[in-house]
Structure 1
Amino acid sequence: MKLIRNFLDRIEPDKKSSPFLHTLWDGFDTFLYAPASVTKNGVHIRDGMDLKRTMIHVVLAMQLAFIAGVVNIGHQHYTAFGMYGGAFQGIGWKFAYGLLQMLPLIIVVHVVGLGIEFFFAAKKGHSIEEGFLVSAFLIPMIMPPDVPLWMVAIATAFAVIVAKEAFGGTGMNILNIALTARVFVFFAYPSEISGEICWISYDYNVLHSLFGIKAHTVDYLANIPNGGVAFDSMFDEAGQFIANSSVLIDGWSGATPLGLAANGGWSAVQEASYTIIDPVTNKAEVFQQYSTTNLLLGVMPGSIGEMNKLGVIAGALILAVSGIGSWRIMLSMVLGAVAVAILMNILGETLYPNQDHFIKVPWYYQLFMGSFLFAMAFMATDPVTASGTDLGKLFYGFGIGAVGMVVRVLNPAYPEGWMLAILFMNV
């Protein structure tokens, strides 16, 4: 470590003659080491937990949800092709496809967002502001997996410039940065973030071709009884799944649980199923598309943030125990959502006694559909845009839960409400 420290000290650019290079150097230096500067006036409690390390803790808390979401992107992709119908069948191929699908998205967000951050930091003569560390990871997690990269680049630039830098940078923004990027896509390109098609990734990018993922699918479909080519990278054991997999699919759709519930009530979600016929044995296997287990594990179409509920809950506990995320906001948001959902259930029995309607979906299932838990854990708890007082956090969280549930259930155009509810309560 001392060798790295000496190397960084030796290559440090001059701040006056090369402000941009110094800003770039400072960003990497403070990422690896705690800043050497300390407060000079007054009495303070000091430790090594600076803002950058706080942000890194948030990113680490997302990792379980991220990994499970990556696998699910691959699961939805292969299921659409009639391959690997079981949740754990072909899991290596699913992880490889999902990760290579997400990498370009993550890279574009970081390049565009950090590029703008470096520019403004150099112009102001300040160090890099660490707030974008979390936003750069959140933005890909709340976008459809197949969203065009140029669209994400524009949305990221809009969010960083308009919602953050225009207000003075990290700690000054009034709107959640990641949600601002998503709401930009939502209003500017609504077809790319609504409906059924956008939540399933069907295509193959350059990375998929480079690592043999596309060749595997083509060979698999062309040689059903014998399986595909060997994957000569980290998942070469995945070939064992091929001979036992299936190729013919019937009844499957990319509809999300919320989309089904909005159109046909809770019974439509429970009845959703698909059949995969094994081409070797010619036996049909029926899969319930949205069982309770699938809802918990996140085996459903959607963005990564909507996926694995257990991973999101684990991340929420990490944030709450560490004190980085407010448990008051999380708890009150759950109470607000539950209160409105129960009220909706009561009204539904009165208004639609003989009809299965979205308003009658059991309140406890409302918590596990869509992105409620992810919004609760990683969006509503943003310390910059949330309330600062203990009492204010309770009202803030309850308001998000209540408003979001109203928008989800009563909005005929879009069956989800947490993005708009959080931005509304931010303001």
Structure 2
Amino acid sequence: MKSLRKYLDRIKPQFEPGGRLHAFQSVFDGFETFLFTPTTTSRSGVSIHDSLDSKRVMIIVVLALVPCLLFGMYNVGYQHWLSIGETQFPFWQLMAYGFLALLPRLLVSYIVGLGIEFVVAQWRKEEIQEGFLVSGILIPLICPIEIPLWMLAVATAFSVIFVKEIFGGTGYNIFNVALVTRAVLFFGYPSKMSGDSVFVSTGSICGLGEGAVFDGFSGATPLGQIASNTGDTLTLTNVIGEPLSLWDMFVGLIPGSVGETSTLCILIGAAILLVTGIASWRIMLSVFAGGFVMAAIAHACPSASYPASMLTPLQQLTLGGFAFAAVYMATDPVTASRTNPGKYIYGFLIGVIAVLIRTYNNGYPEGAMLAVLLMNAFAPLIDYTVVQSNIRRRLRRLKTKA
């Protein structure tokens, strides 16, 4: 690392004002601060210095996403093997298939998103903002594996420009960038974000897997099956028609968006975020509490007209993107409530609204995305109400003492 540090120090003058590569100063600064903790400090005023800057925070979040990423790769391969009627599941071949299927989507997300951020930073003559380190990996994880690359690029560019950069960049956006990307895809290209053919990759990739699909194949997610259910009973199945257990749903061996299927891996990521103090346990807890309460209310009066009401509270919490949203989306410190009482209210309402939408709107089986985006809009109002309530309480206390 010392030799790398010396090399960067040697070429740094070329990127500073007056150097022949000064036009790429923001790019150089971005890579330098990514590799090494900045040593510059404020020259005036009283400041508290901490080695845990925003880049380090983002890297920890990325590490917390690794369990979902790795399991997502395996599950992509596993679902493909099921769909073509295989009975043997070689681990490394499944991982390789999932890796090759997911890699282009990761590359498109990062190239488009970071490319826009590099251009904007250089245009504004500012440091490159590091928020997209997390958004870049979140976007492929919350999308179907079969989403066309050009659609992913268009939605990512729209979200970065109009949801993030136009508000001032990292720390100023009012909506979660990754969720807006998914919303653009869902409402702009609905046929590529739902149905039986987008959540399971069925084609051969670099000689891995076969192109033919088994006759009994159905790639609908459990929530998709629920939305199309018309009977008085509800039986969830995998891609070849075998019944799913609660354990299957918890582990995540089901069709779905790449990183959202495994509640087990999501909880591992949650533990990393909580131990490191990056995410708010108040928001996580209240989202799950709100979802459980609403699911229990809905399940108390199940109806064939609303098949999702037949799900138990535990099934509601383990299916779809609910757990992923609770851990990685709702806890985004930029778009979430910041007061402690506000975090409880914010999280609880996300859980309630997510289950409410998926239960009583058969046209939209997944409610977590809309719930988080809706509460992003109301988070400032929640915090304002909490602060004003505290002010009024203290004023009454002063009047009483007077």
Q: TM-score, normalised by structure 2?
A: 0.88
Is 1:404 matched with 2:342? no
Q: Given the alignment, which residue of 415, 419, 422 partners 2:365?
A: 415
Distance 1:179 1:43 in 2: 38
Aligned twin of 2:169: 169
SS at match of 2:336: coil
Is there any run of 5+ residues in structure 2 with no aligned partner, and where? 378-402
Structure 1 residues 53-94: Cα deviation after superposition (integer angstroms, max 9, x where no partner):
000000000111111111000111121111146xxx212111
Aligned twin of 1:227: none
Q: Is this contact kept in 1: 2:220–2:239, CA < 8 A? A: no
Aligned twin of 2:226: 261
Is 1:303 matched with 2:253? no
Structure 1 residues 169-204: Cα deviation after superposition (integer angstroms, max 9, x where no partner):
000000000001110111111111011211111224
Read off the aligned partner of 1:133 and give its amino acid letter. L
1:291: how far off? 1.8
Aligned twin of 2:160: 160
1:274: how far off? 7.1
Distance 1:42 1:391 in 2: 32
Read off the aligned partner of 1:181 and give its amino acid letter. T
Q: Is this contact kept in 2: 1:84–1:90, CA < 8 A? A: no
SS at match of 1:197: coil
Aligned twin of 2:15: 14
Q: Is this contact kept in 2: 1:260–1:268, CA < 8 A? A: no
Change (3 A) 1:413 1:9: same
Aligned twin of 2:280: 326
Q: Is this contact kept in 2: 1:263–1:358, CA < 8 A? A: no
Q: Is this contact kept in 2: 1:34–1:48, CA < 8 A? A: yes
SS at match of 2:318: coil
SS at match of 2:315: helix
1:261: how far off? 2.3
Aligned twin of 2:392: none
Change (3 A) 1:151 1:262: same
Structure 1 residues 95-142: Cα deviation after superposition (integer angstroms, max 9, x where no partner):
100000111110111111111000111111111101110000100101
Read off the aligned partner of 2:16 and give its amino acid letter. K
1:339: how far off? 1.2
Q: Given the alignment, which residue of 282, 289, 292 partners 1:338?
A: 292
Distance 2:239 2:134 in 1: 37
SS at match of 2:253: coil
Aligned twin of 1:378: 328
Change (3 A) 1:136 1:184: same
**1:24-423 equivalence runs, <5 A:** 24-84=27-87, 89-204=89-204, 208-209=205-206, 212-213=207-208, 217=210, 249=214, 251-264=216-229, 267-270=233-236, 272=237, 288-348=242-302, 357-423=307-373
SS at match of 1:300: coil
Distance 1:274 1:99 in 2: 21
Distance 2:102 2:306 in 1: 37
Per mean C-alpha deviation after superposition, the further-off stretch among 255-264 and 323-332 is 255-264
Distance 2:356 2:286 in 1: 16
SS at match of 1:199: coil
Structure 1 residues 277-324: Cα deviation after superposition (integer angstroms, max 9, x where no partner):
xxxxxxxxxx83422221111111111222221110010111122211
Identity %, equivalent residues: 44
Distance 1:6 1:390 in 2: 45
Distance 2:232 2:57 in 1: 40
1:213: how far off? 2.1
Q: Is this contact kept in 1: 2:284–2:347, CA < 8 A? A: yes
Aligned twin of 1:424: 374
Read off the aligned partner of 2:223 and give its amino acid letter. L
Structural RMSD (CA): 2.0
Change (3 A) 1:356 1:131: closer
Read off the aligned partner of 1:327 and give its amino acid letter. W
Read off the aligned partner of 1:419 and give its amino acid letter. M
Aligned pair count reads 373
Read off the aligned partner of 2:174 and give its amino acid letter. I
Q: TM-score, normalised by structure 1?
A: 0.83
Aligned twin of 1:235: none
Per mean C-alpha deviation after superposition, the further-off stretch among 163-172 and 76-85 is 76-85
